[in-house]
Amino acid sequence: MGNLLFIAVCCSAGPFFLVVGCSAWSDAPGWDWPALMLALGLVGTVMIPVLAFTATRQEFPRITRRNRVKGERTSYGDDTFVMWAPRSQHGSARAQLMRADVLEASLVRYSPDGESTFTTHSGNYTPDEFTPLIRLSLRVHDAEETGGTGGFEVTGEWRVPSLCLSAITAGRLVVLVDAPAAPGAQRTVMPHWPRSTLLSGTRTYRLIDLEGRTSHVTRRVGRQLQQMRISREVGGVVMTGDTVDLRRLDPHTAARYAALADRDRAVPEEQAPVSEPGEEARWLADQLPGKKGAFGSVGRRWSRRGGVLVRGRFLEMRARTTFQDHGPVLDTVLRIQPADGTPPFEAARRLTVPMDYLTVLHRTKEVVLSVSPNGVSYDVDWSRTSLLAGIAEAKVITPDGRELPLRGRPDAIWALMNVLASHGLSNPSPVLDLRKRRMRAAAAILMDVCA
């Protein structure tokens, strides 16, 4: 109703033209200006409920059957994640591509004044007011291939696209390093954010060789850096989804990629850790906006009629130029596992993704969805998702007063959420206190889950 009233005021010219056109038509019927006024007024009036419905659907995203992906599209496995991030500056032709480890990170400024409304910008860029300014302390390596210990440290402030924040938490970046402007001067360092999401493992990466064999390159840091350097030299290599197919490249570039693949096959490179040591020094989730983690609220009617929780997983995220204060609006594809045991399905939906969730995207792509009792609609529950993702620390207080931390136990957290939902018990907090009277009926079951 709020959107309807607001849009009715903004589009009040439509009903006005309609009234004027009707009056003029009754006085002087014909196909002249009264007909034009009637047409404009009719279109403007009809657009009021249409725009109100569209705006409301965008603010309260609900996944239904109409959002199911139809037709042919790239088939993604359960461990696939494809991201189309905002473009980064290419740097000078003389700049070198290197790895940098994030030693420390802290939020300097993020202060949009959109008041949580949707803000859309034209053009393919991310405005500063919706791009957090992060202070980073980096250790840049310049001799990875030979196992050398060369490198240097640099501290600075950079604008980080929200889609790429997980690369900071993971602790691995790709940077472009220019030669010093003068002897003894500091070298210029510029992070390349889309490539950093690859190196951090947020985006999955596969390669199909000339014989059609597929190799997994995700978190193979040394190999990825060498492939990125080849790509930069030749002007870019197109990835289809999360895959590079050497059979589609020019022979010279394909041969260079194939040589790296053969070398890795002979001496396999171990995967880098999901997150580099010292994650607590670069933990940005607590400094950025998002939904507070909780075991979740439960509507008693929803619970009694058979509403349930299910898990979904993001397969795709694509940046847009629409933002809210607490996160960007993204085109997403999710794979959802229905509660009735039927095969999972994929749904394409435009969602506002909280920024604190984006900081941990390198280690989880899962979301919690609440399902309507009739099983036809799904709503993303960001409070439960934040708790399951580890953004907030979950804890259980036993009936005898002991505290049981659940850090690193997402399956236990998920089981507790389902028990609470099935019993119609709300707990809008990351701390589940079983000493409360309303929890006594389910305390024994909840304790069995924590064991």
| 45 and 105 assigned to the same domain | no
Average pLDDT value for residue range 399-416: 93
| 264 and 211 assigned to the same domain | yes
Query: Which residue type occupies 262?
Result: D
| 267 and 306 assigned to the same domain | no
- Residue 31 pLDDT greater than 60, yes or no: no
Cα angle at 370 between 367 and 376, to 5 degrees? 115
In a domain, 67, yes or no: no
Query: pTM here?
Result: 0.87
Per the CB < 8 A criterion, the answer to whether 368 and 336 are in contact is: no
Of 222, 255, 281, the residue that ends a domain is 281
In a domain, 75, yes or no: no
pLDDT at residue 57, rounded to an integer? 66
| 293 and 372 assigned to the same domain | yes
| 52 and 189 assigned to the same domain | no
Per the CB < 8 A criterion, the answer to whether 332 and 349 are in contact is: yes
In a domain, 223, yes or no: yes
Of 255, 281, 307, the residue that ends a domain is 281
In a domain, 64, yes or no: no
pLDDT at residue 388, rounded to an integer? 96
| 256 and 400 assigned to the same domain | no
In a domain, 65, yes or no: no
pLDDT at residue 149, rounded to an integer? 56
| 360 and 374 assigned to the same domain | yes
In a domain, 77, yes or no: no
- Residue 144 pLDDT greater than 60, yes or no: no
In a domain, 151, yes or no: yes
Q: Tally the domains of the chain.
A: 3
| 89 and 51 assigned to the same domain | no
- For 32-61, b/e burial (b = at least 16 CB within 10 A) is eebeebbebbbebbeebeebbeebeeeeeb
Per the CB < 8 A criterion, the answer to whether 432 and 416 are in contact is: yes
Mean pLDDT, the chain, whole residue set: 88
Domain that holds residue 422: 285-450
| 251 and 311 assigned to the same domain | no
Percent of the chain with pLDDT over 70: 92
Of 256, 281, 306, the residue that ends a domain is 281
- For 177-190, b/e burial (b = at least 16 CB within 10 A) is beeeeeeeeebbbb
- Which residues have a Cβ under 8 Å from the Cβ of 105 and sit 6 or more positions away? 134, 135, 136, 137, 168, 169, 281, 282, 283, 284
| 255 and 169 assigned to the same domain | yes
| 364 and 409 assigned to the same domain | yes
| 123 and 200 assigned to the same domain | yes
Where does the pLDDT of residue 199 fall: very low under 50, low under 70, confident under 90, or very high at 90 and above?
Answer: very high
In a domain, 260, yes or no: yes
